[in-house]
Structures are given as structure tokens and as C-alpha cells.
Amino acid sequence: MDVRQRLSAALKDAMKAREADRLSTLRLINAAIKDRDIALRGTGAEDGAVVDNADVLAILGRMVKQRQESARAYEEGGRLELAEKELSEIKVVEEFLPRQLDADETAAAVDAAIAETGAESIRDMGRVMAVLKEKYTGQMDFARVGPMVKDRLG
């Protein structure tokens, strides 16, 4: 079952269970995906074109990151109730993301991508990152992986 189908089923379940907060977050996810679908059509893609699973995972990853930043800002501002709301939304969004790779698994994935591309210098970093994004979208934080790749190639 792909992410869209799981999202649709979760939306129906939340409606039936009258879980207002969860339903609100699921609707936000749906809206973000539909916005991306509409933007895709505006680029001249064929009729009926929709974003693929990798793009949906990227959208979900951005949503988590945005909410983490908001929660941090709310905590620093002493608005704990708003921070908790953001954190609860993160939990709902993360249900649809694949399991995050731990540090050892990430290091192994980076090493494998470097070997696969035959990367030898920092100039090859783009190819390595492209392979990682293709295989591990939604499973690793690429802002943290970039410096790791740079260290290995540098």
C-alpha cells in the first residue's frame, strides 16, 4: 500500500473515531500533497500526473522539519501548549514516513553510494547525494548526510 492509500485510510479512520487533532494534521498532509500535484500540472506535465511516492516522502520530511523548528521556537518563547501541538503533529506525520536509519546504517549507506558511483573527490559529491536521495528519501536527514559525504570524499 503506498503512502497516499495509507493516508486516505487514516483520514477515514480519524473521521470515524472523531479524532479532531489527528484529522486536522491528516488534512494538512493531504493539502500539501494536492498543492504539489497542482504545481506539477502547471509545469506542463501530462494530464492526470501526480507526484510519486518519493516526492510524497520528501513533502512529509519537510513537514516534520518545519514542525520541529516551530516547536523549538515556541519552547524558546515559553509557548509550551503550541510546542506540544507541533510535536503531536510530528508524530502523526512520521507514521507515514519509513523508519529513519541510525548512524551506523547511514554511514554504511554513504559508503555504499560512494562505492557505487566510484566517487573519488568532492567533485563527485552531487552524484553520491543523488544516489542516496533516490534510495533513502524519507529515511535520512540529507542536511546531516551532506557533511558526512564531504568528509569521506575530502
Same domain, 53 and 75: yes
Q: Can you give the residue range of the structural domain that contains 49? A: 3-94
Q: Final residue of a domain: which of 68, 94, 120?
A: 94
Question: Residue 19: what are its φ and ψ, rounded to 5°?
Answer: -95, 90
**pTM for this model (two decimals):** 0.75
Same domain, 76 and 108: no
Same domain, 71 and 23: yes
Same domain, 89 and 109: no
Same domain, 61 and 118: no
Distance of CA 140 to the CA centre of its chain: 9
* Closest to 136 (Cα-Cα) out of 93, 107, 64, 10: 107
Same domain, 63 and 88: yes
Give the chain's length. Answer: 154
Query: 99 pLDDT band (50/70/90 cuts)?
Result: confident
Number of domains in the chain: 2
Same domain, 49 and 124: no
Q: What is the pLDDT of residues 37-48, one digit of tens each?
A: 888 887 766 666
User: Does pLDDT of 136 surpass 90?
Assistant: no
The rounded distance, in Å, linking the Cα atoms of 49 and 45 is 6
